[in-house]
Structures are given as C-alpha cells and as structure tokens.
C-alpha cells in the first residue's frame, strides 16, 4: 500500500508532465484524471492516518478475502438461521439441523 507522500509524488509527476510540453487533448485529459486520482488517494490516506480511531477495526486475518472475520461469519450464520427458523415452510429436519448449527456457533462465540 502506498503512503500519502508516495501518492503526492505521483501527483507531482503528472503535474510536471502536464507542464513540460504540449499534449494531445486525450493525453491531457488522462494525465489530469490520474493527477486527480492520486490527489484523492493521498487525501484519503492522510484522513485515515488522522482518523484511524474513528474507523472500523482492522481484520485479524488480512488474507481473509471473504470480508468477514470468523466472529462475524458466526454471527451472520446465527442471524440467517434465526430468520429461516421463522419460516414455517422449512422442513423439520432442516430446522433441527440449523438449530444444531446455531448451538455450535453460539458455543464458539462464548469461547471468544
């Protein structure tokens, strides 16, 4: 991941490219877009550094590409199961299976 300073360096590169020589309208537009993109990324990195305490906690496992921590996955499973349990059309066998899964998940939550 880049730092705000690295993004600002890229902004300076594109600013210099725009100022160095005349460019075609397409090139000028592309460089301006890149300049604006890197400016926004730098601003965002600076905001994150200043406001890190106001953001959602970091993942314990950054390699988890599903977007959910284990605890969140268990909670989601419990909520989904509870919603399914409300549906009277769910077969009894499936409801019992889901209830067992909720119990296992609830035990895992209490161990955390």
- pLDDT tens-digit profile of 25-62? 999 999 999 999 999 999 999 998 888 877 766 556 66
User: Which DSSP string do the residues of the chain spell out, in sequence order?
Assistant: ---HHHHHHHHHHHHHHHHHS---HHHHHHHHHHHHHHHHHHHHHHHHHHSGGGSPPPPS-TT-TTS--HHHHHHHHHHHHHHHHT-TTS-HHHHHHHHHHHHHHHHHHHH-
Whole-prediction pTM: 0.50
Residue 101 binned pLDDT confidence (cut-offs 50, 70, 90):
confident
Domain spans, the chain: 4-54, 70-111
Q: Are 43 and 60 in contact (CB under 8 A)?
A: no
**100, two tokens:** 């067992």
Dihedral sign of CA atoms 18, 24, 25, 29 in order: negative
């Amino acid at each position: 991941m880049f730092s705000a300073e690295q993004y600002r360096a890229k902004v300076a590169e594109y600013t210099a490219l725009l100022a160095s020589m005349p460019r075609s309208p397409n090139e000028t537009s592309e460089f301006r877009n890149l300049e604006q993109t890197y400016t926004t990324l730098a601003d965002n990195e600076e905001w994150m550094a200043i406001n890190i305490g106001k953001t959602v906690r970091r993942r314990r496992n950054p390699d988890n590409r599903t977007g959910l921590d284990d605890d969140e996955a268990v909670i989601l499973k419990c909520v989904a199961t509870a919603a399914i349990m409300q549906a009277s059309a769910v077969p009894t066998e499936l409801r019992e299976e889901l209830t067992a899964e909720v119990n296992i998940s609830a035990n895992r939550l209490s161990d955390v």
